[in-house]
Amino acid sequence: MAAESGSAPAAPRKRATALKPSRPRKPPRYPYDGLSGLWLRLPWWLHLVAAALAWPLCTEWLPRIPAREPTMAWLFHVAAPAAWPAAVALALITAALSWRKARTPAKKAKKRPAAARTPRRTKPAAAPPRQGEFS
């Protein structure tokens, strides 16, 4: 276990992920982004299920939750029962949008001719140092 006196110490192992710069993420390929994009990508029948569950959720289940804070009590006992028509309407509208999105064919990207393509930009070469100047 004793190291030899004349040998050089072993170099530390390099980790594969250490000091690797992360590449920027590409933007998503669909026109909707975030939570609304996820909601519209769901099938249309899930929107109808959400519309059907909005009435019992808002009128029966949420008001039964005990709330100690006045704001939460108002939200569960007053606002939620009054909001179920809006929740049903929004779910039906998004069901129609999701159904329409599923029925429309995806647009294919048109390829431009080779002459119309622009070359990739390259970094300009560094200027050589001027004569007589020291940095």
Query: What local confidence, expressed as pLDDT, does residue 93 receive?
Result: 93
pLDDT higher than threshold 60 for residue 71: yes
| Residue 70 DSSP SS3 | helix
Q: What is the mean pLDDT of residues 34-58?
A: 85
How far apart CA 78 and CA 70 sit, in angstroms, is 11
**What are the phi and psi torsion angles at 87 (to 5°)?**
-65, -40
Query: What local confidence, expressed as pLDDT, does residue 46 receive?
Result: 92
What would the pLDDT profile of 75-122 be if each residue is shown by its tens digit?
Answer: 888 888 898 899 999 999 999 988 888 888 766 656 666 556 666 666
